[in-house]
Amino acid sequence: MKILVTGGCGFIGANLVPRLEAAGHAVRVLDSEVLGQREHLGDFAGEFLRGDIRDDAALDAALVGVDAVVHLAADTRVIESIADPALNFDVNVVGSFRLLEAMRRHEVRRIVNASTGGAIIGEAEPPVHEGMVPNPISPYGATKLAVEGLCSAWAGSYGFSALSLRFANVYGPRSFHKGSVVAAFCKRILAGEPLIVHGNGEQTRDFVYVADLCQGIMAGLASERSGVFQLGSGQPLSVNALIEALRVVVGPQSVAVDYRPARAGEIDKTWCNVAKARTELDFRPDTPLHDGLAATWDWFVQQNALALA
Residue environment code for 278-296, b if the CB has 16+ CB neighbours within 10 A, otherwise e: eeebebebebebeebbbbb
Q: Give the span between the Cα atoms of 275 and 282, in whole angstroms.
A: 10
Q: SS3 for 30?
A: strand
State yes or no: is 171 an active-site residue: no
Q: Give the span between the Cα atoms of 103 and 83, in whole angstroms.
A: 31
Longest dimension (CA), the chain: 58
Q: Give the span between the Cα atoms of 83 and 80, in whole angstroms.
A: 5
Considering the candidates 140, 171, 209, 259, report the single residue annotated as catalytic.
140
Q: Give the span between the Cα atoms of 298 and 125, in whole angstroms.
A: 35
Beta-carbon contacts of 192 under 8 Å, excluding residues fewer than 6 positions away, are 254
Catalytic residues: 140
